[in-house]
Amino acid sequence: MTKKERILSVALYRFAHEGYNAVSTASIAKEAEVSEGLIFKHFKSKQGLLDTLREELESKMAAKVQPVMEAATAAEALHLVFDLLLNVDPVDFNYWRLQYQLKLNEAYEGHRSAQLYLDRLSWALQESGFPEPEMEAQLLFEIVDSALKRIVFEELPEKEKYIEFLRKKYAP
Amino acid sequence: MTKKERILSVALYRFAHEGYNAVSTASIAKEAEVSEGLIFKHFKSKQGLLDTLREELESKMAAKVQPVMEAATAAEALHLVFDLLLNVDPVDFNYWRLQYQLKLNEAYEGHRSAQLYLDRLSWALQESGFPEPEMEAQLLFEIVDSALKRIVFEELPEKEKYIEFLRKKYAP
DNA sequence: ATTGCATGTAAGTAAGTACTCACTTTAACA
DNA sequence: TGTTAAAGTGAGTACTTACTTACATGCAAT
């Protein structure tokens, strides 16, 4: 692990758990055992450090969603939505926690890709015979999002049971 | 409006929109047009100011949930869950936004009263014939919570339509 | 009248903030 | 082997932070 990677790793953990503003560059440097100046050599500013983490986060999000976007049939797409929840890698938990931190403040641009995902859900639900596919898609989106949140914050002990319970409602 | 109330009002708005750590006592004092020292006279510390807001928030939450807890029948309880969403007072939006800020970090003690609310939903859903009332209650809780979130962050334009869509699923 | 007390302010303080700068070390390569 | 560029440091910068202190004002009760 290079020093640069150590900075990123510490920053990800601290930003995800305590929030961007609560964490100082000095404390990141100390925990990563590097000089504070090195943070600014590599990332130009504290915001630049966050931006780097956000880029990593966004590519992870895109990869996660891809199977649903590329599924051959509507039924398969709906099935894969729940696989996505079953397969969250604990190594990535802090990236998702960071996402929930970022979503709160700034108007956060997950909007563009989120709309494509919503449209895809809407299409799949219509194909599957749901009478109000658009609202149903919005609801399903919120359900999956809140389940993901509970998973990464380790508040969902009976994960598998709960996900199967959800799946029955949309992809029986 | 007394100076004390002005401090609380500015702090609520800023904490809710920007987050506790991003807002300085100096900037609160300036916006409320009082001296910075007065904040510490009244609230002892910045954390004390937040605690005061949190107490107000908690009593507002208890009042919101009360009708559901005291409903005579299960069907009425479920019906009232959605009224709760329809009747959120825009004047209180910042209190709910603050709640979503606080929930993220600290382990936030909404847990005790949340469990009572969950038990109540579980009971109502069982009475209404849902086969898995506990998971269904958990799900309903998340659905209502995310709808409230979208309402107070003004991301739900067709509020009434969406709430009726939800109500049909639980209290037809 | 005088005490006491809550409300209020202006001007501090020490510690912490993000960030810079002059400098040294490391390591690949002509 | 000497040159070059990146990686890395540690001590500084100007500024902001939460909080304190000394002092002023109005006002009710003794």
B47 touches strand D (CB under 7 A): yes
Same domain, B86 and B164: yes
Does any CB of chain A come closer than 8 Å to the CB of residue B21?
yes
A95-124 average pLDDT score: 88
Same domain, B36 and B59: no
Average pLDDT, chain A: 95
B146 → closest Cβ in A19, A22, A146: A146
Q: What are phi and psi of B131, to 5 degrees?
A: -70, -30
Q: Residue B61 pLDDT > 90, yes or no?
A: yes
Q: In chain B, pLDDT over 70 holds for what percent of residues?
A: 97
Same domain, B99 and B66: yes
Residues (5-34, chain A) with CB within 7 Å of strand D atoms:
33-34
C-alpha distance from B135 to closest chain A C-alpha (Å): 7
Containing structural domain, residue A29: 1-44
Contact between A139 and B135 using a beta-carbon 8 Å cutoff: no
**Does the residue A49 lie in any domain?**
no
Does any CB of chain A come closer than 8 Å to the CB of residue B166?
yes
| C-alpha closest to that of B101 among A53, A104, A138 | A104
Same domain, B112 and B63: yes
Does any CB of chain A come closer than 8 Å to the CB of residue B59?
no
Question: SS3 of A146, please?
Answer: helix
Q: Residue A110 pLDDT > 70, yes or no?
A: no
**Distance from chain centroid for Cα B117:** 13
Whose structure tokens read 């319970």?
A165
* Number of independent structural domains in chain A: 2
| Per-residue pLDDT at A172 | 75
Amino acid at B87: N
A27 touches strand C (CB under 7 A): yes
| Per-residue pLDDT at A105 | 81
Same domain, A37 and A91: no
| Per-residue pLDDT at B128 | 96
Q: How far is the CA of A12 from the C1' of C3 (A)?
A: 60
**Token pair of A21, please?**
């503003």
Tell me which chain B residues have a C-beta less than 8 angstroms from the C-beta of A139.
Answer: 143, 165-166
Amino acid at B59: S
* Torsion of the alpha carbons at B14, B20, B24 and B26, rounded to the nearest 10: 60
Gap between the Cα atoms of A142 and B128, Å rounded = 24
**Which residues lie closer than 8 Å to A121 by C-beta, 6 or more apart?**
A77, A81, A137, A140, A141
Are A21 and B19 a contacting pair, CB within 8 Å? yes
CATH number at residue A10: 1.10.10.60
Four-residue CA torsion sign, B144, B145, B149, B152 = positive
Crossing angle (nearest 10°) for helices B111-127 and B74-86: 130
Same domain, A62 and A137: yes
Same domain, A27 and A88: no
